[in-house]
Chains A and B, each alone.
Chain A
């Protein structure tokens, strides 16, 4: 989806690995970096030395991304590691994410900025509970494209039967969660089969190698066809005292609105609705990152907008398409994922942050929780614990403008912050 971090150009693919513990996520990334010659000499020397120190005969490729002391001690991934590499075809940002249940929120962190998720399955053991959990969360957080990599094919004699059985299971699972287009392929990350080259042990497989696949995968979502949404991050008030030297501005009093075009696009002269309030104004001018005035702005572009009229506009105010207003209410439902060790307390209020707007929120009810292993939904819950996901009803202190997450990820997403611990305790998608 790539709403996060805005990098959404066709020459760049952001992807993550997901799947259960020990299904080979870090090894897969390590293998891909190694075989595509994206490891520098000193990185390789360091990994070789670390492997030797740990008494391994061969180079442990998972050490390339498992960079923390605690990770190397335990041989696991705790938090996402981002790696940057390139082939002649395109650039890649890969997030290698942890498989342990305890660190699920770190996988979600990685997935929230990805265009694509590679879900690894161990060919020996097939789909595991944590595979189901990851797939469910990857879909919930907005990753529209998944690839199943059936790994450790070397352990099952490169059997086509084993692969096909797992593939059927994956397709069924992905469809039940809501994916329509599903791809899969057999690989051996440890030995490098079908990662950057096919090898000769998977002769029955006719599809692309993993790297070929990633080089051609769509860098998803184009937000330009959605209605215009702009969230004011900061109000700039110019006067004679606060003007940059040599800026070319003369010091006239001026109010500009700094922020990100969340979706759609906007041109000079367009009429917009200011929300809250519902007043209308026209875009007088647009100041781009180039420090020049531009005639229009694209989705995910950071700009400063000037209006033809002065209304009450502050941080969190939205400018929106006059023909496609946002929903506005202080009560709504959301699919919430709880991250924190301290469970949800229905008697408390939390701070909700949606784009640049922060407001206090109370959770009125937990309508149902999802069992991510069976996809069963059950009612009558009084709290949510770490990694629980389910539908809740929320009530905000001030009215909120939003779209459903399904129709607009930028305006339909929020996080919850505990005002005492300041921890990010949950994230939600508005329904």
Chain B
């Protein structure tokens, strides 16, 4: 009798400390382990952004204390903030990870990608470089940090998202994904994109970064930067995006909510120097993450869907 009571007490104690972040973490670890167990050669897409930093952290936990049974892959636009590259290299070195970098610049020099004009944003051209890297290394699955709350096409995507031999996503014909039983099977040349943090929101990600004390590139926190305001977005003045004649350059306190190609990622006005302050801003924001920061999503109503159909992340 006493044994039974004791057991219940332990359960009650544990249950009160089990939070929604624990549940999200457990789900993500389950997904990462399915990938490692069922796929031959998985890659983890690592850009140095906050979502991929969270996914990497989850992977280190999922396989702890074993080294990662996967390769990190960075599809480099060569339009990066140096802080992000430094962070990437620091994390790789500290954890002794295997990193493959393939750059859009290289694809351009090889003639695989043709820009319409110099310094054109390179986000969408990452697709070519990514598909080439998948072929070169024979990756059968690429783990990504995409979240369903980011964008309306992503809101539709499965956790294990099948891509055909041309890398294409067919949103009208996705595999059913029932309960937590995942179909990871692909034929040669085909690919799965696995999204372990599909069900996380921007707020969840920041709460988790706070709880786990995950390191991020400095530009996620407030800093002074020259910007020009265009269409309600803060366009940073950089060597790649110099100010034009007549631009009203302002020096502002800003931080980045997302990190991507310099030429199409905008910071937001912010004085948040700590994660606590970022959490407060995230809870109160009136604009979505991509809406406030991505110039390339606003070119058409279905920019993300069209990119994904071509093989984008």
Contact = CB atoms under 8 A, between A and B. Distances in A.
B20 A42 contact: no
A12 B95 contact: no
B183 A112 contact: no
B274 interface: no
Nearest to B96: A245
B24 interface: yes
A291 B190 CA distance: 34
Nearest to A103: B172
Among the interface residues A65, A141, A304, which one has the most CB atoms of the partner chain B within 10 A? A304
B149 A247 contact: no
A339 B176 contact: yes
A16 to B, nearest CB: 13
B180 interface: yes
Contacts, number: 216
Given A42-B288, A353-B183, A424-B175, A243 B66 contact: yes
B26 interface: yes
Interface stretch (A172-180, A190-198, A258-266, A391-399): A258-266
Contact of A6 (B10, B23, B288): B23
Contacts of B305: 67-69
Interface stretch (B29-37, B238-246, B252-260, B261-269): B29-37
A419 B110 CA distance: 38
Interface in B1-57: 7, 10-11, 14-15, 18-20, 22-27, 29-30, 33-34, 36-37
A370 interface: no
Interface stretch (B73-81, B131-139, B151-159, B217-225): B151-159
Contacts of A342: none
Contacts of B278: none
B18 A258 contact: no
B120 interface: no
A3 B26 CA distance: 12
A109 B26 contact: no
B23 A8 contact: yes
A302 B179 contact: no
B292 A42 contact: yes
A316 to B, nearest CB: 9
A427 B291 contact: no
B304 to A, nearest CB: 9
A84 B201 contact: yes
Given A68-B153, A287-B64, A6 B180 contact: yes
B175 to A, nearest CB: 5
Contact of A244 (B19, B60, B152): B60
A289 B183 contact: no
Nearest to B171: A68
B14 A296 contact: yes
Given A68-B305, A356-B34, A298 B176 contact: no
A359 B29 CA distance: 24
Contacts of A339: 176
A302 B62 contact: yes
Contacts of B286: 40-41
A9 B302 CA distance: 34
A422 interface: yes
Given A9-B23, A84-B149, A417-B185, A265 B288 contact: no
Interface string A241-284: 01111011100000000111000010100000000000000000
> For the side of the interface on A, what is the size category?
35 or more
Contacts of A109: 158, 176-178
Nearest to B33: A233
Contact of B14 (A247, A298, A424): A298
A417 B24 CA distance: 27
A415 B26 contact: no
A291 B65 CA distance: 8
B61 interface: yes
Contacts of A144: none
A289 B22 contact: yes
Contacts of A260: 26, 30, 180
B186 interface: yes
Interface residues of B, number: 67
Given A234-B36, A243-B66, A260-B26, A82 B155 contact: yes
Contacts of B156: 67-68, 79-82
A300 B66 contact: no
A5 to B, nearest CB: 5
A7 B95 contact: no
A111 B64 CA distance: 33
A265 B11 contact: yes
Contacts of B183: 353, 415, 417, 422-424
A5 B7 CA distance: 26
B30 A12 contact: no
Interface in A41-74: 41-43, 46, 50, 65, 67-70, 72
Given A11-B20, A42-B291, A69-B305, A242 B66 contact: yes
B178 A424 contact: yes
Given A79-B171, A243-B65, A296-B14, A315 B20 contact: no
A224 B11 contact: yes
Contact of B33 (A9, A141, A247, A259): A259
Given A79-B172, A243-B67, 18 more contacts: A7-B20, A68-B305, A80-B156, A81-B156, A82-B148, A84-B199, A112-B177, A234-B33, A236-B66, A244-B66, A258-B63, A267-B10, A289-B29, A296-B11, A301-B22, A302-B25, A415-B176, A424-B175
23 contacts: A5-B27, A5-B199, A8-B23, A65-B152, A79-B172, A82-B156, A82-B198, A82-B199, A84-B148, A84-B201, A109-B158, A233-B34, A243-B66, A245-B96, A249-B65, A296-B10, A300-B26, A301-B22, A302-B27, A415-B181, A422-B183, A422-B190, A424-B177
Interface of A: 3-9, 11-12, 40-43, 46, 50, 65, 67-70, 72, 78-84, 91, 93, 105-106, 108-109, 112-113, 141-142, 224, 233-234, 236, 238, 242-245, 247-249, 258-260, 265, 267, 287, 289, 291, 295-296, 298, 300-302, 304, 315, 339, 351, 353-356, 409, 413-415, 417, 422-424, 427
Interface of B: 7, 10-11, 14-15, 18-20, 22-27, 29-30, 33-34, 36-37, 60-67, 94-96, 148-149, 151-153, 155-156, 158, 171-172, 174-181, 183, 185-187, 190, 198-199, 201, 285-288, 291-292, 301-302, 305-306
Report, nearest first, the 4 A-B pairs whose CB atoms are least far apart. Answer: A67-B152, A42-B291, A247-B65, A302-B29
